[in-house]
Amino acid sequence: MSIVAFMASPAAAQEAKTLRILISQSPWLNAFVALVDEYQEETGTTFELDVTPFGGMVDKMRNSVRAQEGSYDLININAQSLAEMYAGGFLTPLKQLDANFTLPEGVLDFGSSAYWNATTSSFDPAGDLYGVPTNGNVLALYYRSDLYEKAGLDVPQTWDDLIANAKALHNPPETYGFVSRGTRESILFDFSPTLFSFGGSYFADPENGDYSVTLNSPQGLQALETFIALNKESGTGNPAALEQAELIQLLATGKAAQGVAVIAAVADLQDPNKSIVTDTIETALLPAGPGGQHASVAGHWMAGIPTNTPEANQQEALKFLKWFLEKDTQIAYVEAGGIPVRKDLADTKLAEDPSYRFIRAFSENADVAKMNTPLKEGVRMKEVISLYLNRALIGEISAKDALNGAASEAHQVLSAAGYKLTPPKML
């Protein structure tokens, strides 16, 4: 159903207010609904959730925020669409509703993506606060503890360690040493932690508005060559065609010894109805690059309050978001199956339950997560760069040619969009 409405009890109805929320039909929906139920019981506030397939979220969001009067009091925004919503002036700066509101200590901002600096067109804590995180999805390392123990391996601290472990565990077709996604739809996301940890970047200084393309740097080349070697030498044999569902299935069936996947995959991998490795699949911080730098990539959701909804509704929406961020609320969120938005839950009662042993790895990866394409043209940048990365993984072109080609085309796209850029230096 497209609308899920939660009605208050008759006793609370006289005091109740209604919040209209746009939310994706995603694995974390049920956990969000559980919190909505709890908040309704505590406050009498009623909710109308417009539950929408992921592919339809952007159109509904755009149509609502551009209307004279919006359909929603809260919209959940995927990381790829944040810059568009912030830069378009469609959302209310949260300090306009409460001058004292800040994200509480311990709450993640996922690469400063809760903030927008209109002067530099960038995610920047010096800018206005627009977003409140509602689901924290980052990449993490998954590995089989039983296979590690049998082979006498340690959890990898560097990419070289991971390559060595992958080779040691690679025994195809029974077991693949390592898996990550390589299709055009996903390769940018999975390659980004390697790039960032090697000291590379997609853009020169996005925090200060310099989107000169820097992907084709020596660090970028070293990162891509490492990414290709890891997937080709210890992967499935066709890593450029591997997507998320198949990757999770390989891990769940014991066919993959380790891999990089979103933290949300924990739900399936620890479900005995879907996985045979529930007790032996573990998570860890992604490896560091040569300089000791760890990095992950943000694929989270933020909630924003549109400008075209009544102020009374905006205030009620902010009250709900404040409650949502509380530590006890986030513990309940995890217990209901959600991915938290706080990094300080590893020392809570969750640590006592093996089902939530992923929390520490989530917190560590989320703390070093970055946005890969933090600009309005992010979707177009993803399309351009992913094509070249995928071709390099297939072997159609060299890593060097892939980076040079991606940088050149990305530069052309952004220059045509009006950005003032320094041309990329070819490798």
Same domain, 308 and 179: no
Instruction: Give domain status of residue 160, yes or no.
Output: yes
Query: Residue type at 80?
Result: Q
- Residues 254 and 167 reside in one and the same domain: yes
The verdict on residue 62 lying in a domain is yes
Q: Are strands 369-370 and 296-297 parallel, antiparallel or unpaired?
A: parallel
CATH number at residue 126: 3.40.190.10
The answer to whether residue 364 sits within a structural domain is no
- Provide φ and ψ at 71, rounded to 5°: -90, -10
25 with 88, same domain?
Answer: yes
Within 10 angstroms of residue 285's Cβ, the number of other Cβ atoms is 21
pLDDT value for 4: 46
Q: What is the pLDDT along the chain (427 residues), one digit of tens a residue?
A: 234 443 333 333 334 489 999 999 887 899 999 999 999 999 999 999 999 998 899 999 999 999 999 999 999 999 989 999 999 999 999 999 999 999 999 999 998 999 999 999 999 999 999 999 999 989 999 999 999 999 999 999 999 999 999 999 999 999 999 999 999 989 999 999 999 999 999 999 998 889 999 999 999 999 999 999 999 999 999 999 999 899 999 999 999 999 999 998 998 899 999 999 999 999 999 999 999 999 999 989 999 999 999 999 999 999 999 999 999 999 999 999 899 999 999 889 998 899 999 999 998 999 999 999 999 898 899 999 999 999 999 999 999 999 999 999 999 999 999 999 999 999 9
Same domain, 249 and 124: no
Count the neighbouring beta carbons within 10 Å of the beta carbon of residue 129. 17
Together in a domain, 125 and 151: no
CA 118/CA 122 separation, integer angstroms: 7
Distance CA(69)–CA(329), nearest Å, equals: 31
Question: Residue holding tokens 């209310």?
Answer: 92
242, 109: one domain: no
Q: Are residues 283 and 317 in the same domain?
A: no
Residue 326 lies in a domain: yes
Q: In this structure, are 246 and 391 located in the same domain? A: yes
Helices vs. strands in the chain: H and E counts, helices first: 16, 15
Same domain, 38 and 187: no
Q: Which domain holds residue 220?
A: 139-297+374-416
Q: Could you tell me if residue 424 is inside a domain?
A: no
Claim to verify: residue 163 and residue 228 sit in the same structural domain: yes
Asked if residue 35 belongs to a domain, the reply is yes
- Whether 31 is covered by a domain: the verdict is yes
Judge if 55 and 84 occupy the same domain: yes
How many structural domains are present in the chain?
2
Residue 247 lies in a domain: yes
Considering the domain architecture, whether residues 126 and 147 belong to the same structural domain is answered as no
